[in-house]
Amino acid sequence: MAAPSMGGVSLPRGNGQTVRLPRGASLTDLAERINAQPAALVTALFHLGEMVTATQSVNDETLQLLGAEIGWVIQVVSPEDEDRELLETFDLTFGDEEGDEEDWSSRPPVVTVMGHVDHGKTKLLDAIRDANVVAREAGGITQHIGAYQVVTELEGLERPITFIDTPGHESFTAMRARGAKVTDIVVLVVAADDGVMPQTVEALNHAQAADVPIVVAVNKVDKEGANPAKIRQQLTEYGLVAEEYGGETMFVDVSAITRQGIDDLLAAILLTADASLDLRANTEQDPQGVVIEGKLDKGRGPVATVLVQRGTLRQGDSIVAGDAYGRVRSLLDEHGNKLKEALPARPVQVVGLTSVPRAGDTFLVVEEDRVARQIADRRQARIRNAQNASMRKRISLEDLDAALKETRQLNLIIKGDNSGTVEALEEALMKIEVDDEIALRVIHRGVGGITKSDIDLALADDVIVLGFNVRAEGQATELANREGVDVRYYTVIYQAIDEIEAALKGMLKPIYEEIQLGTAEVREVFRVPKIGNVAGSLVRSGTIVRNSKARLIRDGAVVADNLSVESLRRFKDDATEVREGYECGIGLGSFNDIKVDDVIETFEMREKPRD
Ligand SMILES: Nc1nc2c(ncn2[C@@H]2O[C@H](COP(=O)(O)OP(=O)(O)OP(=O)(O)O)[C@@H](O)[C@H]2O)c(=O)[nH]1
């Protein structure tokens, strides 16, 4: 079959062969894999009605459509798929409990605290930490290691609860987006003197999307003007109906300052876990879990706080956590005590890794150090590749100029916490006047967090996404990071205006001015084999600089422009520059029409700052 010819460039036909591409690949990536010219693929796609640049990330369907057109089956692989396949090559899987459910042991619930800014998440986590009966006995000082476990008494039984100590739903959703389901129960903190706020709603949306039960902590009940009943009533609108009103959600009035209600809150967490979750884990299998936090400790090297999800983690285990690996040298709890082993739902600091893993990375214990290292190496390579790819694709405020050369248009997506601010921001932005050359276009606007579909839109069109008082959802953040989409957050309008104005200014085509460098008079013309004619010249003014631009003047008229000083010699030696009054040999590349008495004028183009 003849190769299809698009715009005069032929494309290699795949004849039904399969080519694998990472999600979000560009036409350049595809071109590399199938040995084609990126430009030919751009043209081919253009004929199919899609206009993209060679380095822009292309969505799955478009890649497949293009593939079908040129005879390739394109298999788009997500990073998660890739990792799953990587583990499979070592006969490993992450995430599944092994064995018979009957043999599993019950495990403590893992809780994340979420809520609006300043509603008291941090204070509440502190108060809970101090309520720990075991710590109280030990009189120990707890350290912040990203997660901790407290033991509380319920109906005469001592029962542990694990708290993720990084409040806020960013880490919650970031972990969820990376496939690490960590949280069993969300404690939604609402300040009784303030009520339900945008981030309260956001947090509860995240929890509901993840199908995680919620316990509401109505905080700051010690404050004057606290109205806990109003919180209960407000939240019914969002499907959280208090038990006392006939619903299923437990509401507990607390004060993180006076510690009122903390024990009730812990009890409510356990009761909710018992009522709606059957939390069990296999303690016998190879341990697996999630990295909660990683840091580099001066004395101990890389330290990761991990949460064991199944199996029992022990000192001496060979572990791979994200792209870090190593042998577990020691296990420490949140009081700094050494542990021999860590059971499911136990947060524990692991010392002994070769590098610092990222929060949300999964960890696995493997049979041999060698396997851990190989997995880590492969992951490192993949991260590097992805970074390189996104560097290529990245369009940011800083280097928009190159990316938007043709269109000279800055596209924006504006998301905000309410329609008033979104409109106000758009209006203010549209008033920015920089230059007629450049257009500012808002291609999408809306109320709410930045979603994956916003990022998809941004990808298709080289866009900057502005979040005004809102954040990107986990999946959106992940996609934006992976694809290098520029997402900016603002809380004040003028700051957004300043930055966008600066971006637009940066997009202006630079103005260049010609700077004279020097002139030389041709005294003699030498014919040099392989090089061509060389002008034996005397520098009349300034300096002749190698590689500078040049024009040739004969009898006062410009004979040739667009030349450059391709070779410059003083006697037999190469020179980078030759000053006024000296003789030199100047070669003008393939330009050979040089005559005695011609004048070579040299100059450079320098960017002129705009005011
Ligand atoms: N009176 C009173 N003040 C509280 C209570 N809980 C928290 N606060 C105060 O509320 C403010 C915010 O508390 P934080 O714990 O920092 O709130 P947060 O939700 O963690 O805030 P961000 O981390 O900024 O989102 C602090 O000044 C606390 O002292 C409470 O129960 N009663």
User: 87 in a domain, yes or no?
Assistant: no
The count of residues in the chain is 611
273 and 214 in contact (C-beta within 8 Å)? no
Assign 284 a pLDDT band (cuts: 50, 70, 90). Answer: confident
More confident residue, 431 or 110: 110
- Distance, CA 345 to ligand 1 centroid (Å)? 27
Is residue 40 located within the same domain as residue 130? no
Is residue 474 located within the same domain as residue 584? no
**Amino acid 446: pLDDT:** 81
Question: Which residue spans within 298-408 are E strands per DSSP?
Answer: 301-310, 313-314, 318-321, 324-332, 338-339, 341-342, 347-353, 362-366
Least reliable range by pLDDT among 279-293, 355-369, 416-430, 593-607: 416-430
Number of structural domains found in the chain: 5
Provide DSSP, 484-531.
T-EEEEESSHHHHHHHHHHHHHHHSPPEEEEEEEEEEEEEEEEEETTT
User: 390 in a domain, yes or no?
Assistant: no
- Distance, CA 277 to ligand 1 centroid (Å)? 30
**Amino acid 7: pLDDT:** 41
Domain end, chosen from 32, 61, 77, is at 77
User: 96 in a domain, yes or no?
Assistant: no
Least reliable range by pLDDT among 63-77, 174-188, 350-364, 518-532: 174-188
Answer yes or no: is pLDDT of 192 > 80: yes
Is residue 145 located within the same domain as residue 259? yes
Q: In CATH, what number is assigned to the domain containing residue 493?
A: 3.40.50.10050
Distance, CA of 172 to CA of 186 (rounded, Å): 10
Is residue 250 located within the same domain as residue 302? no
Known binding-site residues for GTP equal 115-122, 165-169, 219-222
Of residues 306, 345, 387, 360, the one with CA closest to residue 474: 360
Is residue 121 located within the same domain as residue 266? yes
Is residue 457 located within the same domain as residue 347? no
Distance, CA of 332 to CA of 339 (rounded, Å): 6
Q: What pLDDT digit, counting tens, does each position of 101-128 carry?
A: 777 889 999 999 988 888 999 899 989 9
The average confidence (pLDDT) of the chain is 84
Distance, CA of 152 to CA of 265 (rounded, Å): 10
Alpha-helical (H) ranges within 60-120 are 60-69, 79-89
**Amino acid 529: pLDDT:** 80
**Amino acid 208: pLDDT:** 84
Q: What pLDDT digit, counting tens, does each position of 501-544 carry?
A: 887 777 666 677 788 899 999 999 998 887 789 999 999 999 99
Of residues 345, 344, 286, 357, the one with CA closest to residue 318: 286
| Beta strands 313-314 and 347-353, pairing class | unpaired
In this prediction, residues 386-414 reach a mean pLDDT of 56
Is residue 164 located within the same domain as residue 269? yes
Q: What pLDDT digit, counting tens, does each position of 141-165 carry?
A: 566 788 889 998 888 888 999 998 7
Q: What pLDDT digit, counting tens, does each position of 2-45 carry?
A: 344 444 446 777 778 888 888 778 888 888 888 888 888 888 88
- Distance, CA 194 to ligand 1 centroid (Å)? 12
Q: In CATH, what number is assigned to the domain containing residue 326?
A: 2.40.30.10
User: 113 in a domain, yes or no?
Assistant: yes
Is residue 379 located within the same domain as residue 423? no
Domain end, chosen from 476, 509, 542, is at 509
Q: Which of 112, 118, 187, 258 to mutate to test the pocket of ligand 1 (most atoms within 8 A of CB)?
A: 118
Distance, CA of 31 to CA of 45 (rounded, Å): 12
Distances, alpha carbon 468 to alpha carbons 69, 115, 264, 441, 474, in Å: 42, 18, 37, 17, 17
Q: What pLDDT digit, counting tens, does each position of 73-101 carry?
A: 888 888 788 888 889 999 898 877 777 77
Q: Which protein residue's CA is at the shortest distance from atom 25 of ligand 1?
A: 117
50 and 72 in contact (C-beta within 8 Å)? no
∠ CA 275-278-281 to the nearest 5 degrees?
A: 155
∠ CA 96-98-100 to the nearest 5 degrees?
A: 130
Find the helix or strand (DSSP H, E) in which 549 lies. Answer: strand 549-554
Is residue 420 located within the same domain as residue 450? yes
- Distance, CA 273 to ligand 1 centroid (Å)? 26
Distance, CA of 494 to CA of 471 (rounded, Å): 18
∠ CA 77-80-83 to the nearest 5 degrees?
A: 95
**Is any ligand 1 atom within 6 A of the Cβ of residue 228?**
no
pTM value > 0.80: no
User: 93 in a domain, yes or no?
Assistant: no
**Is any ligand 1 atom within 6 A of the Cβ of residue 120?**
yes
In this prediction, residues 477-484 reach a mean pLDDT of 86
Is residue 270 located within the same domain as residue 164? yes
User: 102 in a domain, yes or no?
Assistant: no
Is residue 501 located within the same domain as residue 519? no
- Structure-block tokens of residue 80: 């998660």
- Structure-block tokens of residue 302: 């890389």
**Is any ligand 1 atom within 6 A of the Cβ of residue 123?**
yes
Assign 167 a pLDDT band (cuts: 50, 70, 90). Answer: low
Domain end, chosen from 385, 407, 428, is at 385
Ligand 1 atom closest to Cα of residue 126: 15
538 and 597 in contact (C-beta within 8 Å)? no
Which range marks the domain in which residue 407 is found?
A: 397-509
**Amino acid 206: pLDDT:** 80
Listed as own residue / partner, the contacts of 50-53 with beta carbons closer than 8 Å and 24 or more positions apart are: 52/27, 52/460, 53/27, 53/403, 53/462
**Amino acid 462: pLDDT:** 63
User: 589 in a domain, yes or no?
Assistant: yes
**Amino acid 309: pLDDT:** 93
Answer yes or no: is pLDDT of 406 > 50: no
569 and 584 in contact (C-beta within 8 Å)? yes
In this prediction, residues 573-601 reach a mean pLDDT of 93
User: 59 in a domain, yes or no?
Assistant: yes
In this prediction, residues 597-604 reach a mean pLDDT of 93
Distances, alpha carbon 280 to alpha carbons 104, 112, 113, 156, 285, in Å: 6, 18, 22, 21, 13
Assign 437 a pLDDT band (cuts: 50, 70, 90). Answer: low
Is residue 142 located within the same domain as residue 224? yes
**Is any ligand 1 atom within 6 A of the Cβ of residue 126?**
no
